[in-house]
Structure 1
Amino acid sequence: MRMWSRSLLLASTCALAMLTAAQGQTRLADNSTAPLRGPILAQSEPAERVVPEKQPYWSWFRYNSSVLATWKIEADPADSNIVHAKPTRLGLASPQRKVLVLYPRASSAYDVSITKIFNVFEDKLLDAEVTIANFKLDDKLGQEQIAKAEADGYDLILTMGSESTAWLWSKYKNGKLPVVSVCSKDPVVLGQSPGYDQGSGTNFAFTSLNMPMDVQMAYVNELKPKLRNIAVLVDSKNLSAVETQSKPVVEYAKKRGIRVLELSVNDPANAQTELTKLVSAATAQMQRNDPDLKNSLFWLTGSTSVFKEIDTINKYAGPVPVVAVVPEIVRDGDSTAAMSIGISFESNAHLAAIYSVDILNARAKASELKVGVVSPPDIAISFRKVRDIGMTVPLSMFEAAGTIYDYEGKAVRVDGANLSKKSN
């Protein structure tokens, strides 16, 4: 397993930014130097600007608006399920590389991931056009995209989400183009990689949203050293979450004599109603061996249909803390988990983007890259929620947390950096 620290990821980006600035000053000082890229877009015919929310792709493809400062993003005129993105710094020049990103559907997790990928590609000055295609997990549409990518001279495919990764693995293992997984769960548990400390031996390079279970549970033990009950919340239809985020926790806890309550949502469209019954019943069961509920917790997996109902879960969990494996579920305000211990969509996407850049620049081979896991985990804490439920946070976890929201639910630390409050 290739363990990547968040500080290393940030340091590589900062170092490149300083180098880029120095190079920019050199070019400005030498007027005879030809532009690094093509003519600027301002020299071409100005196009009518359409706000992203009104684009035909917005129902399935979204990103942070800050991306538009460095990328030109356009819908394919012939297909609303295809989007083309090109760095504005390229101007009218043709990109040197072509990247295809395969989406299975819309997801807020993918919005975070693609935003980070755009940012890293820009930081690395990657000369690449990025095409994003929503193949809707349709075999025919997916095969058409692969064939077109090969015919049009694409250089790399990014699979967005576990569903896309599983589909492409079954259809394109040992294919012509290198593939990098992003926003996808543990490839070893899912049988896609032979081991963490070795490459796949195929055209696939894997990254993982999961962290080693013993490491993750060590943090849980620090939070609740006398843990008696753990209720695992998962979408039964989300097979990757079941296999990599639910079953391992269940097995780990049972081996250590911890009572496990498996709470599975069977109909994602009816998740709120199901969770109302499941969580309230679980809280009542926890009180049988933990009357004051001080040694119990809810374990929230990365199932979108489940974690988007965080308000419902909190309502019926009462004083029992909700701990998520996805850091993005801890956020400002009241609609938040109390804490998260896991790998964020953003950190994982950052690593996947670096893998992609290294492969495109011939610094690495997809077949040889070890499974990419960011370590230590992204810990996020909402002290507003912590106070509401009367939970205690160990000092060591407070110090290790990269993201913290204060008692008012406002961010005071983000990505390890403390935010200064503005004085009135």
Structure 2
Amino acid sequence: MKTADGALKASSYPKGKNGLSGKPGRDGSASASPGTAASLTCKDWFSLSAESAAHWRLSPAPEDGMAFVLRPRKEAAPKERYRIMVLFPKKSSAYDTAMETILSVFRDKNICAEFVGVNFFMKEEAGAAALRQAEADPCDLIFSMGSGSTDFVHKNHSAGKVPVVSVCAKDPVLLGQIRDYDTGSGNHMAFTSLNVPVALQMAYLRKLIPDLRNIAVIYARKNRSAVITQFRPLRDMAGRQGINVMEIVVEDRKNARAEIESKMPAALESVRKSGQEKNSLIWITGSTSVFREIETINRNAGVIPVLSAVPDVVTEGDNSAVLSIGVSFENNAYLAAIYAIRILREKAEAGDLRVGLVSPPDIAVNFKKAREIGLLIPFRFFELASYVYDHEGKKVRMKGQKVTDLAPQP
């Protein structure tokens, strides 16, 4: 669908303080010229890196800081200009990463689009208003950012006219949003998944630790999607294989650090008393409140390997998991962007698209952490890894490509 200039009507939203930081542009936008090192933020819930800010202008819409518009800084006169709404449920660094990836894909493929970001903070009235706005303005497509937004849109917009693509959302089949992985939704929603099938995940874990006896799973109880798609499937499969599963549950996500600090020692006491540290692992689910506490988790883990379903938790330096087997926010967002382009340019029907799965899974390895705890990484893992950090914790492979002449010795 072709749009006019596509400016979001601020009058459609409550007025108030705009909440944008950055140098104001002449049009009232927060701006950064190419070559500067200025990142941009929208209030305290969205951040745009300096690299992206060199190519995209972040404008306040509306004045209360709960929404923004991103437009290209430079664009030729396009035959088509698309308006895309991105529905956010909360603040998350994962969503910033996903948004950066989507912007990069659209720019690389020379697709002229503006992105209207709306944070509805999981409030039904605000979410419904955003969906009505997407239909009325109208938007050409909606990205439902995160499992919370995707669940809300599935319940409130599956019969809508504007096509939807989920991004940074967990397994839609396990969440009951779609029947299976090979059949489209039949409505206006196309789904992607952040999950790796649990059978495949378990196969990797058994390859890493053949005599695996214990898995301590850390998850947030209120993160419904992580509980349903990550914790329960792993618990059930581990139980069938005779592996003991210990739960470390965060009840209050705002108090996650203190809860993890107090609960981990007790949960791991039996493992340490039995001398089974080398046959055990700690598994971090995709709960933001959990994986952002990686420093606390590492400190309490000792020599027990800390693994994650989130590749982004494996990073440079010490505040990193040793290994991840999952789907990166970046690769999931890339797939979601490709789905969106198929819908916009190729006129594919969102409801005809099968669930977007990243395969093989993204593997990330930090050899510094592995050496510290004496964990041997199978060479096959090293071969397959998209992200590798060497024995000093420095990045040597990124997105499957070598970034330095120094290679780690597995």
Q: Bigger CA drift: 167-176 or 91-100?
A: 91-100
CA contact (8 A) 1:379 1:403 kept: yes
**CA shift at 1:145, angstroms?**
1.2
Please point out which of 398, 401, 406 is paired with 1:417.
Answer: 401
Q: Tell me the alpha carbon deviations over residues 270-298 of structure 1, each in whole angstroms, 9 at most, x when there is no partner.
A: 11121122221222121344x15111000
Change (3 A) 1:129 1:48: closer
* Aligned residue number for residue 364 of structure 1: 348
- What is the CA-CA distance between 1:58 and the residue it aligns to? 3.9
Q: Is 1:300 the counterpart of 2:284 in the alignment?
A: yes
Verify the 8 A CA contact 1:103 1:160 in the aligned structure 2.
yes
Matched, 1:257 2:242: yes
Larger RCO, structures 1/2 (Cα 8 Å, 6+ apart): 1
Shifted more, 276-285 versus 169-178: the winner is 276-285
Question: 1:77/1:169 Cα in 2 relative to 1: closer, same or farther (>3 Å)?
Answer: closer
Say if 1:180 and 1:205, in contact at 8 Å, map to a contact too: yes
- Relative to structure 1, is the Cα distance of residues 48 and 158 closer, same or farther in structure 2, using a 3 angstrom cutoff? closer
* Corresponding position of 2:200: 215
**Alignment match of 2:148 (pick from 163, 170, 174):** 163
Does residue 315 in structure 1 map to residue 299 in structure 2? Answer: yes
Matched-pair contact (CA < 8 Å) for 1:404–1:412: yes
Q: Does 1:186 align with 2:149?
A: no
For 1:199, the aligned partner's letter is: G
SS of the residue aligned with 1:350? helix
CA drift at 1:362? 3.1
Q: Which has the higher helix share?
A: 1
Question: What SS does the corresponding residue of 2:69 show, helix, strand or coil?
Answer: strand
Summarize deviations over 1:161-207 as a string: whole Å, max 9, x none: 00000111111112111100000000000000110111011110000
State the distance in 2 between where 1:363 and 1:332 align.
41
- In the other structure, the counterpart of 2:11 is none
Deviations 1:305-332 (A, max 9, x none): 1111111111111100001000000001
Give how far 1:420 is off: 2.2
- Tell me which moved more, 45-54 or 383-392: 45-54
Rounded Cα–Cα distance in structure 1 between residues aligned with 2:160 and 2:52: 31
- Does the 8 Å CA contact 1:56/1:80 hold for their aligned counterparts? no
Question: Which among 268, 271, 274 is matched to residue 253 of structure 2?
Answer: 268
d(CA) in 1 for partners of 2:207, 2:342: 37
What TM-score do the two structures reach when normalised by structure 2? 0.88
Identity over aligned pairs, percent: 44
Alignment-mate amino acid for residue 216 of structure 2: A
State which of 53, 78, 88 in structure 2 corresponds to 1:68: 53
**Contact 1:135/1:142 (<8 A) preserved:** yes
Contact 1:55–1:75 at 8 Å: present in 2 too?
Answer: no
Q: Which residue in the other structure is 2:117 paired with?
A: 132
Q: Which residue of 1 aligns with 2:127?
A: 142
1:338 corresponds to 2:315: no
Please give the alpha-carbon distance, in whole angstroms, between the structure 1 residues aligned to 2:66 and 2:27: 25
The one-character-per-residue Cα deviations of 1:250-271 (angstroms, maximum 9, x if unpaired) are 0010011001101111111211
- Distance in 1 (CA, whole Å) between partners of 2:86 and 2:72 is 16
- Distance in 2 (CA, whole Å) between partners of 1:188 and 1:412 is 36
Within the alignment, does 1:176 sit opposite 2:144 as a pair? no
TM-aligned CA distance change 1:102 to 1:257, over 3 Å: same
Aligned length: 379
Residue 403 in 1 paired to residue 391 in 2?
no
Following TM superposition, the consecutive aligned residue runs of length 4 or more in structure 1 with deviations greater than 4 angstroms are 44-56, 91-95
1: distance between equivalents of 2:239 and 2:231? 12
Q: 1:417 to 1:372 in 2, by over 3 A?
A: same
Q: Secondary structure of the residue that 2:97 maps to in structure 1?
A: helix
User: What letter is aligned with 2:348?
Assistant: A
CA 1:48–1:84 in structure 2 vs 1: closer, same or farther (change >3 Å)? closer
Aligned partners of 1:185 and 1:255: how far apart in 2?
A: 23
Shift in CA distance, 371/56, structure 1 to aligned 2, threshold 3 Å:
closer
The secondary structure found in structure 2 opposite 1:294 is helix
Query: Is the CA contact (8 Å cut-off) linking 2:78 and 2:112 kept in structure 1?
Result: no
Contact 1:253/1:259 (8 A) holds in 2: yes
TM-score, scaled to structure 1: 0.85
Q: 1:95·1:129 contact (CA, 8 Å) conserved in 2?
A: no
Q: 1:118 corresponds to which residue?
A: 103
Q: Distance in 2 between matches of 1:343 and 1:182?
A: 12
Go from structure 1 to structure 2 and tell me whether the alpha carbon gap of 1:80 and 1:299 turns closer, same or farther (over 3 Å shift): same
Match of 2:149, SS state, is helix
1:97, CA displacement in angstroms?
1.3
- Counterpart Cα distance in 1 of 2:148 and 2:53: 28
Q: Secondary structure at the match of 2:396?
A: strand
Contact 2:89 2:122 in 1 (8 A): yes
Task: Write the letter of the residue equivalent to 2:402.
Answer: N
In 2: Cα distance, 1:236 partner to 1:53 partner: 37
Q: Secondary structure at the match of 1:280?
A: helix
Provide the secondary structure at the position in 1 that maps to 2:232: helix
Q: CA deviation digits over 1:373-417, x for unaligned, max 9?
A: 111111001111111111111111111111111111110111111
What is the CA distance between 1:96 and its match in structure 2?
Answer: 2.0
Instruction: Decide whether the 8 Å contact of 2:168 with 2:194 is kept in 1.
Output: yes
TM-superposed CA distance for 1:56, in Å, is: 6.6
Aligned residue in 2 for 1:85: 70
State the alpha-carbon separation in 1 of the partners of residues 239 and 77 from structure 2. 60
Report the 3-state secondary structure (helix = DSSP H, G, I; strand = E; otherwise coil) of the residue aligned with 2:348: coil
Distance 2:314 2:379 in 1: 18
Please list every run of 5 or more consecutive structure 1 residues that lacks an aligned counterpart in the other structure: 1-43
1:34 aligned partner: none
- Give the RMSD, CA atoms, in angstroms: 2.1
Distance in 1, Cα, partners of 2:313 & 2:254: 20
Q: What amino acid is aligned across from residue 266 of structure 1 in structure 2?
A: E
> Secondary structure of 1:398's partner?
helix
The AA in structure 1 aligned to 2:56 is W
